[in-house]
Amino acid sequence: MVAGAPGDARGVLLRAAPSGENWAYIAFSLSPAPLPGGLYPEFSEARRRADRVAAERAWLAALWTERTTVRWDLRFTGDPVSGRIGTVLIAQLYGADRAAALRAVRDTLPALARLPAHVTGTRVEDTDEIARLLAPFVPGWGAIAEIRKRITCRTLTRAWGAERIATTVSRFDANDPSWDRIWAQLAAEPRRTVISVCLEPCAAPAGLAAGLTMRAQAFGTLAVPGRPDPMYGLPVPGDPFAREAHGLYEEAARRCAGRLHRARISVAAEGEAPVSDVLTGLIAHTVAPTSSGAVVVRPQSPQEHQVACGNLLGVNRDWQWEAYWQGVPAFLRTPSEGQQLWLSDPATVTALADLMDPDETAALFRLPHEEPGEPELFALQRGSPHTSGPGTPTNNTNTGGPDMGWTDFGGTGV
């Protein structure tokens, strides 16, 4: 639930591009709502968890939009001094000009502000504070990483035309996972550390499901024994990796339809030392516990470090060429002109690496909560609850914003 009227458009940070386009940022400070019934509520922990999951899924479904330039960024920031976690929800909205960006804010606020009942939200109206939440610090080299879907590339024992190399993309297979261990580790980190989960609503790309189905069929053919070898008279055995690829592509064809999201998970720490392997490993295991389908990637060059920082500080989703491809050979990333790849199509791989179905999205975007008897990890909301009177809301905007120190990291890109 949110304190204040959802239609209020105050507290909008605007960033303008030289072309006149604008990106509007609004933020809500979040904290767990008090449990009903005091320390010993009527319902069991399992019942409360099921209710929370259902409420978060319904809220995400209501947030989905056909706008192609909207992103939600859920950020958890650990404070080593207090041992508490600050939680903020940031929305980035695009407009062709200042007025269009503000209209996008007004259109989005009602659904955004209807948070599930187990979360309390306070609108952040100070634009300087929004800027600080966007860029709490600039991570040093090695102090930022992202969690991605695992991309696997293998040479097959059987050829498909001229191809003998196959590439697959795993999925995040967690079923409504608990983030309690992640939050506990974040609160215990010795440096200020932020976890950013960014979602961008999108529809399934045209032709994706059909392309995935055809690739699943190709891998299915390679997975079963082929015709007997004319020289030896023995059947050609099916390829084990093709069997794995067949299952992944068949499932992707079924799931990659309708309302989807593109996602980015960033983890960054203040200073130059590498970000915690324990924390990043926990996130990867939490979102893909069964198949180990998540991998921690780190920028491979100064240019990629700049991209990774821009993703975090500017609510972006820009591609890191080396880190994201996870060792896939260059000739499979950019096929030569006229070459058609069925088993390692780069467009299909990049689409699957970014896309999340509703189950995956719900596993990533977990709002803060606490249970009786457990350590209190989350900071209370700062500031007074926002309220507004009747009539047209007053816009408190900042067209230039303060010097955020992240312009060079792509802070005004989409």
Model confidence pLDDT, tens digit, residues 157-208? 988 888 999 999 999 999 889 999 999 999 999 999 999 999 999 999 889 9
Q: Do residues 282 and 182 make contact, with C-beta atoms less than 8 angstroms apart?
A: yes
The number of C-alpha atoms within 13 Å of 407 and in the hemisphere containing its C-beta is 10
Q: Are strands 84-95 and 119-124 parallel, antiparallel or unpaired?
A: unpaired
> What per-residue confidence (pLDDT) applies to 388?
32
Q: Give 355's contacts (C-beta < 8 A, 6+ positions apart).
A: 202, 204, 256, 260, 261, 262
Model confidence pLDDT, tens digit, residues 123-158? 999 999 999 999 999 999 999 999 999 999 999 998
The three-class DSSP label of residue 14 is strand
Q: In what helix (H) or strand (E) does residue 220 lie, and over which residues does it extend?
A: helix 208-223
Model confidence pLDDT, tens digit, residues 106-125? 999 999 999 999 999 999 99
The three-class DSSP label of residue 205 is coil
Higher pLDDT, 255 or 381: 255
Q: Give 414's contacts (C-beta < 8 A, 6+ positions apart).
A: 23, 69, 94, 316
Q: Do residues 123 and 11 make contact, with C-beta atoms less than 8 angstroms apart?
A: yes
Give dist(CA 284, CA 377) in Å, integer: 21
Give dist(CA 153, CA 168) in Å, integer: 7
Query: Would you say the pTM of this structure is higher than 0.85?
Result: yes
